[in-house]
C-alpha cells in the first residue's frame, strides 16, 4: 500500500479510425473483463489495412509500456479468413493480434517466450462474428491476460518461428562501403524515418555522405530548430535512427519520397554487427 | 477486495471534434464530480450537428458498456433553445443528452424505465452558459448519476413516449415479397451498413436477391477477405445487419450511395416479425 | 475511504497528432511514473508548431482541471535549442512545457507562485534525446509532480517575469469610444472567438455596434439555434467572450477571416478595467 504498483496497461493500436464506435466498443469490452487495467491508445489512425505501418508504429512504442502490459494490434484485412489469431509473450509483455505480419518488427526486436493461437472460445465473446475479431477475440483475450489468465489457457501453442513476417528489410546491411537501409516510416510531420541506427557522433562526422532516394542530404542538425530553414537535413531521430526532416514542412513532400525509399550512408566506421532494429 | 467490481463507465459521444479543448474540458468536469468513473470515448467525430449519425452510432455501441454505465450523447444544434435536456434509464444504463432525436434508435431498441428533464440546477455547473450545455448540464448530470445521485433528483419526470424521435425508418418492413430497409450508416471504411438484420444462412441462400439503390449486389462473402477484389459484395456486418463492402476501398464511393439509400432483399423466408432494430 | 478524493489529473496538450505513436508513448511514460494519475487529453491536434493556438487552447481549458492537476503543453518547434524547459505552479496547478510562449495566456490570467527550469536530470528519462523532450523531459517531470515530487526538486528557480510571452494583444483596450480586440481563435466549427469579454446584457443592448475585420455584424443571438439561418451573428461564447458564428456553417470561411482579425465594439458602457483575459 505504500508504493503504487506498476499499473497494468492495455496499449491499443488499430486502423479503425476514430469516427465510428469501433474503438469505444473494444475499450468497453476490455474494461468489462479487466476493470483495473489502464488503457492507452497508441494510435487508431493507421491507414486502413496498412499492416506495415502498424508494425512499425507498434515497434516504436512498445518499450515505453511497462512490464506486464498487453499490446493489442489490430490491422486485419484478412479478418475471418485462414490467418491465425495469436498472442505471445516477449520481454515480459503480451502481444495480441492477427498473425499477418503486424508483429514483424516486434519479432525482429525481441525473443518470444511463448506463443499461442487463440483457439479457446471460452475467452472470446459469445457468438463471435466473422468480421470483427478485434471486438470478439483479440480484445477479450488481451483483457483476460491483464486480468490474470495464463497465456497457455488461450489456445494451442505455436512455434514462434512460424509466425508471419512481412518480407521487408528490417535491418540495414553493408554493401561495398555503404550502409544501406530504407525509409521505414513517414510520420505525421512528414519526417522520413529510416531503419539505420546512427550515433550522434557519426551524424556529425566529416566525410559522412547520406543519400535518400536520389537526393544527397548535405545538412546536419542535432535537433529540429538547428536545421536550415528550407533545406532538408539529417538528424538522429528520437528512436535513434537516421531521419530526414525539413523545418516547418514535410520532407516527404519536399523530396517526393515515401516509405520504402532507399537510404544509404557512406563513410561511417560501423561495427560489423548492425543493431537489431 | 477479491473480485474486481465492474467499473462505472462514462461513455462519451459528441460532434465536438478533437481539435479544440471542448472534449478535454467535459472530461475534466466529469472526473471532478465522479473521480472513480472510467471514461471511454465512443467518438467525437460525428459530423457537426448530424443528429442521425450520432443516434446510429450510440445505438451500435451501448450494449458493450456494462450495466451501471452512463452514456453521454451531445450532438446539439439546438443548444439553449426550447429543446429539453433529458436523462433516462433503460437496460440498467443511463442516457444523458438533448431531447432532439439523438436517442431515436435507443428508444426503439430498449424500454425506458424512468426519464427526467434536467431542470434541477443544483446538479449543473454554476452559472451555466446558454451555448455549452455539454459542459454545463449534460456532463455534470451524467457524472452525478455515476457518483450515486438518483435519476429522480435531476429534474421533473417526463413521459418517455413524448421523447423526440427522428422520423426515419428504423425498422425494415415487408413490401410484396421484398424486405425493404435503408442504408442506416456509412462507416469510416466506406461500408454501407443497412438496417436489415440478416442471418448468415440467409446471406448465402441461393435465390436471394439484394439491391441497394439502383445496384444489384451479386457477390457474397462471410468475411471481408473472402470478398472479390474489385466488386461490391454483401456480408453480415459485426452488428448482424446486411452491409455492402468493397475490399480495399469504399463501397459508398464506388456505388455513389449515401445514408438513406434504399436497400431491398428478395427471397428470404423471414419470420413475420422483423427484429426490433 | 468514504469520500472519493479529487483525482490527480494529467492534462495533455500537444501538436503531435494522433497518427503516430508519440502520444501513446508519453502516456505510457506518465503512467509508469504516476500510476494513480488520470490522464485527460485536451487536444493533440494543435496545428504543427502553432504555439499561439496551443497557448489559447490551454488557457480555455485549465480552469476545469481540479486543484492538484498538472497541465502538460508541448508545442515545441525549438526542441533541443536554447529555449528553456520549465515548470511552474499557479492557481494550485502545475504547468509543464517549453518556455516558448505556450504559457502566454496562462501567465496573463494567473499569478505564478513558483517556477523552475527543468535542469535536474534525475527526473528525466535516462539518456534524454535532443529531439523529443515531450517524452524525455516534460512528461516525466509532470508525472513526478503528480507522484508527489516537489517542484523545487526539478531544477533551478527562475523568475516568472522572465518567462517568454508571445507579443500578441491578450487583453482588449479602449480606443476613442471603441473596445478593440482581435480574433484569438477559430474553433473546429469555424466560430470566430475574440478576446473581448461581453456580458449577455451588452450583447443585446440597442446601439451596440460590432465590427469584425471589414464586416459589421448586425445580428445577435443568445444561443446558436436562435441565430439567423445564413447570416453571421454575434453571441456570447461559452468562455464569456464575443464570438461570431453562422448556423450550420463556418463564420471564418463565410467572412474570409482568420485569427488576428480586428474586432471592435462601440456603444458598450464598459468599466474602465477590462477583464484580465
Environment class of A109 (CB within 10 Å of its CB; exposed 0-12, middle 13-18, buried 19+): middle
pLDDT in tens, A2-56: 344 667 999 999 999 999 999 999 999 999 999 999 999 999 999 999 999 999 9
Q: Suggest the residue from C131, C143, C144, C146 to mutate for an interface test with chain A (most A CBs closer than 10 A).
A: C131
Higher pLDDT, C57 or A270: C57
pLDDT (0 to 100) of residue B73: 98
Tell me which DSSP letter residue C151 carries.
G
Q: Suggest the residue from B43, B55, B246, B259 to mutate for an interface test with chain A (most A CBs closer than 10 A).
A: B43
Cα dihedral: B158, B159, B160, B164 (round 10): -80
How many residue contacts between B and C have a Cβ separation below 8 Å? 102
Residues 6+ apart with CB under 8 A from A274: A171, A172, A173, A174, A179, A197
Q: Which residues of C touch B132 (CB under 8 A)?
A: 238
Distance CA C115, CA C96 (A): 10
CA distance A268 to chain C (A): 21
- The residue-averaged pLDDT of B86-97 equals 98
CA distance C90 to chain A (A): 27
- The residue-averaged pLDDT of C36-65 equals 97
Beta-sheet pairing, C112-117 with C233-236 = unpaired
pLDDT in tens, B147-170: 999 999 999 999 999 999 999 989
pLDDT (0 to 100) of residue A3: 43
Whether residue C270 is predicted with pLDDT greater than 80 in this model: the reply is no
Q: Please, which chains are in contact with C (at least 3 CB pairs closer than 8 A)?
A: A, B
Cβ atoms of residues A141 and A154 within 8 Å: yes
Q: Is B41 on the interface with A (CB under 8 A)?
A: yes
CA distance C14 to chain A (A): 13
Distance CA B58, CA B109 (A): 11
Whether residue B4 is predicted with pLDDT greater than 70 in this model: the reply is no
Q: Is A272 on the interface with B (CB under 8 A)?
A: no
- The residue-averaged pLDDT of C167-190 equals 93
Which of B57, B64, B236 is opposite residue A29, by nearest beta carbon? B64
pLDDT in tens, B218-261: 999 998 889 998 899 999 999 899 999 998 789 999 999 999 99
| Helix or strand holding residue C253 (H, E) | helix C251-255
pLDDT (0 to 100) of residue C273: 43
Q: Is B125 on the interface with C (CB under 8 A)?
A: no
| Phi, psi torsion values for A116, nearest 5 degrees | -135, 155
Per the structure block, which three cell numbers stand in for C21? 505513436
Cβ atoms of residues B85 and B115 within 8 Å: no
Which of A21, A29, A136 is opposite residue B42, by nearest beta carbon? A21
- The residue-averaged pLDDT of C60-79 equals 96
CA distance A147 to chain B (A): 9
Q: Is A6 on the interface with C (CB under 8 A)?
A: yes
- Give the pLDDT band of residue C201 (cuts 50, 70, 90): confident
Beta-sheet pairing, C93-98 with C70-74 = parallel
- Give the pLDDT band of residue C205 (cuts 50, 70, 90): confident
- The residue-averaged pLDDT of A103-114 equals 97
| B136 CA to centre of own chain | 23
Residues 178-217, chain C: which have Cβ within 8 Å of B? 187-189
Q: Is B2 on the interface with A (CB under 8 A)?
A: no
- Find residue B49's DSSP bridge partners: none
Q: Is C41 on the interface with B (CB under 8 A)?
A: yes
Cβ–Cβ below 8 Å for A31 and B188: no
pLDDT in tens, B116-157: 999 999 999 998 888 899 999 999 999 999 999 999 999 999
Residue-averaged pLDDT of chain B: 92
| Alpha-carbon distances of A60 from A98, A195, C201, rounded to whole Å | 19, 11, 54
CA distance A203 to chain C (A): 13
- Give the pLDDT band of residue C271 (cuts 50, 70, 90): low
Count how many Cα atoms sit within 13 Å of the Cα of residue A167 in the half-sphere of its side chain. 0
Whether residue B3 is predicted with pLDDT greater than 70 in this model: the reply is no
Q: Where are the alpha helices (DSSP H) in B110-218?
A: 133, 139-146, 200-204
Distance CA B262, CA B277 (A): 16
Nearest to A43 by CA among A67, A12, A74: A12
Residues 76-115, chain B: which have Cβ within 8 Å of C? 77-81, 83
Q: What is the pTM of this model?
A: 0.94
Tell me which DSSP letter residue A154 carries.
G
Whether residue C63 is predicted with pLDDT greater than 70 in this model: the reply is yes
Which of B42, B188, B224 is opposite residue A80, by nearest beta carbon? B224
Whether residue C170 is predicted with pLDDT greater than 60 in this model: the reply is yes
**What number of residues does chain C have?**
277
Cβ atoms of residues A117 and A85 within 8 Å: yes
- Give the pLDDT band of residue B270 (cuts 50, 70, 90): low
pLDDT (0 to 100) of residue C277: 35
Distance CA A139, CA A33 (A): 9
Whether residue B1 is predicted with pLDDT greater than 50 in this model: the reply is no
The residue with cell 469610444 is C177
Q: Is A157 on the interface with B (CB under 8 A)?
A: no
Whether residue A275 is predicted with pLDDT greater than 50 in this model: the reply is no
Residues 6+ apart with CB under 8 A from B50: B15, B75
pLDDT in tens, C79-110: 888 899 999 999 999 999 999 999 999 999 99
Q: Please, which chains are in contact with B (at least 3 CB pairs closer than 8 A)?
A: A, C
- The residue-averaged pLDDT of C187-212 equals 91
Per the structure block, which three cell numbers stand in for B259? 445514408
Q: Which residues of A touch C80 (CB under 8 A)?
A: 222-226
Cβ atoms < 10 Å from Cβ of C187: 23
Cβ–Cβ below 8 Å for C130 and A222: yes
- Find residue B108's DSSP bridge partners: none
Q: Which residues of A touch C22 (CB under 8 A)?
A: 188
Q: Which residues of A touch C36 (CB under 8 A)?
A: 4
Whether residue B65 is predicted with pLDDT greater than 50 in this model: the reply is yes
Nearest to B102 by CA among B46, B63, B154, B151: B46
Higher pLDDT, C248 or C227: C227
Per the structure block, which three cell numbers stand in for C269? 458602457
Cβ atoms < 10 Å from Cβ of B33: 21
Which of B38, B64, B225 is opposite residue A77, by nearest beta carbon? B225
Residue-averaged pLDDT of chain A: 92
Q: Suggest the residue from A238, A249, A250, A259 to mutate for an interface test with chain C (most C CBs closer than 10 A).
A: A238
Cβ atoms of residues A59 and B95 within 8 Å: no
- The residue-averaged pLDDT of B62-86 equals 94
The residue with cell 525482429 is A108
Amino acid at each position: 500500500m505504500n508504493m503504487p504498483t506498476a499499473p497494468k496497461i492495455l496499449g491499443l493500436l488499430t486502423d479503425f479510425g476514430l469516427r465510428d464506435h469501433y474503438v469505444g466498443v473494444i475499450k468497453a469490452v476490455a474494461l468489462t473483463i479487466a476493470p483495473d487495467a489502464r488503457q492507452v491508445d497508441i494510435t487508431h489512425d493507421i491507414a486502413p489495412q496498412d499492416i506495415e505501418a502498424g508494425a512499425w508504429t507498434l515497434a516504436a512504442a512498445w518499450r515505453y509500456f511497462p512490464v506486464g502490459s498487453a499490446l493489442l494490434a489490430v490491422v486485419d484485412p484478412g479478418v475471418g479468413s485462414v490467418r491465425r489469431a495469436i498472442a505471445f509473450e516477449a520481454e515480459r509483455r503480451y502481444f495480441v493480434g492477427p498473425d499477418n505480419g503486424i508483429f514483424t518488427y516486434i519479432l525482429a526486436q525481441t525473443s518470444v517466450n511463448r506463443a499461442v493461437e487463440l483457439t479457446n472460445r471460452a475467452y472470446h465473446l459469445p457468438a463471435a462474428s466473422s468480421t470483427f475479431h478485434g471486438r470478439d477475440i483479440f480484445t477479450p483475450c488481451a483483457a483476460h491476460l491483464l486480468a490474470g489468465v495464463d497465456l497457455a489457457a488461450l489456445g494451442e501453442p505455436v512455434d514462434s518461428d512460424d509466425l508471419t513476417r512481412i518480407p521487408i528489410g528490417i535491418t540495414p546491411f553493408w554493401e561495398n562501403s555503404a550502409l544501406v537501409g530504407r525509409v521505414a516510416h513517414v510520420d505525421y510531420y512528414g519526417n522520413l524515418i529510416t531503419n539505420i541506427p546512427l550515433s550522434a557522433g557519426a551524424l556529425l562526422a566529416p566525410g559522412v555522405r547520406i543519400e535518400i532516394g536520389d537526393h544527397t542530404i548535405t545538412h546536419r542538425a542535432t535537433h529540429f530548430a538547428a536545421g536550415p530553414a528550407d533545406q532538408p537535413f539529417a538528424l538522429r531521430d528520437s528512436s535513434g535512427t537516421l531521419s530526414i526532416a525539413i523545418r516547418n514542412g514535410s520532407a516527404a513532400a519536399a523530396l517526393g519520397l515515401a516509405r520504402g525509399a532507399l537510404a544509404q550512408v557512406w563513410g561511417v566506421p560501423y561495427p560489423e554487427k548492425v543493431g537489431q532494429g
